[in-house]
Amino acid sequence: MAALQRTVMAYGARAPNVVASVGLGAASLLPLVEVVPYGVLGVQLDASHRFMRASSEPDADTVVVDPAGLRFIQDLGPAGAGGASGAIYSWLKIGLEARFPHEVRHAVRKEGDAKLHSYGSKQVIHVVGPNLNEISVATAATRAAAVQQLTTAYMHILEQFLSSEARHLRLLPVSSGIFAGPFQHDLPEMTFASLDSAFRSLPVESQRRLLRLGVKLCIFDQQQFHKFLAACPTCARSARNEG
């Protein structure tokens, strides 16, 4: 049975407050998270479904997040991957490779796992988010279970980012699109709840380090951008910084 299904069964009909459960005294990461209208590579899908360059490509001081598929990490390799992952692999110049590096395959074995890897000067965190399609109906209990699984993925992303020497992180919504299952409309709020819960679950020193760094949540689809922006009124509203 998948981990997400086990979590739902453990919660049953009772839905805990996931964010509150990790410590109300902790600071929040969200005021420093800048929601930007482009993907992690700086490209935007506009309202006319055209690909537009909206920002620069990531530089050597920026880590980007790859929403990897577990089958690709373990068996299929980068070749054949599509969507955001396919674009990232092309940017990394590994799009035709048959296998991922051994340390990536060794570290990313299940949903929620993440691993930082450098491809030359380009730094990527490969993460496998939970497949929320395993949930058939959105209820308070299933939403809480999904948030817990997303929190695990974001916590591992933040830990991997801190293991780098980079000062900037370009995130994207984990388990979005076809993987959001019955939570398509709820995913923006769930994303920020999970991200902040992940931050609050880190040791205090890790929190302090993150608060000195730059985090952008990159929304590739322009039509989704305002939904995510509205879901986080405390997020940074600064002008778009290049990074």
Prediction pTM value? 0.86
- Per-residue model confidence as pLDDT tens digits over 22-79: 343 458 999 999 999 999 999 999 888 889 899 999 999 999 999 999 999 999 999 9
Average pLDDT of every residue of the chain = 88
Give me the residue spans of the domains in the chain.
Answer: 30-66+130-237
pLDDT at 228 over 80: yes
Is pLDDT above 70 for 97?
A: yes
Give the pLDDT of residue 78. 97
Q: Answer whether residue 243 shows pLDDT above 70.
A: no
Tens-place pLDDT, residues 115-155: 999 999 999 999 999 999 888 888 999 999 999 999 999 99
Residue 179 has pLDDT above 60, yes or no: yes
Fold of 30-66+130-237: Leucine Aminopeptidase, subunit E; domain 1 (3.40.220)
Percent of the chain with pLDDT over 70: 87
Confidence label for 4 from pLDDT (cuts 50, 70 and 90): low
- DSSP symbols for the chain: --HHHHHHHHHTT----TTGGG-TTS--SGGGEEEESS-TTSEEE-TTS-EEE-SPPP-TTEEEEEE--HHIIIII-STT--HHHHHHHHHHT-TT-SS--HHHHHH--STT-EEEEEETTEEEEEE----GGG--S--HHHHHHHHHHHHHHHHHHHHHHHTSS-SEEEE--TT-GGGGGGGTTTHHHHHHHHHHHHHHTS-HHHHHHHTTSEEEEE--BHHHHHHHHHH-TTSB-PPPPP-
Note the pLDDT of residue 12.
Answer: 46
pLDDT band at 238 (very low <50, low <70, confident <90, very high): low
What integer is the mean pLDDT of 89-110? 97
In this prediction, residue 181 carries a pLDDT of 82
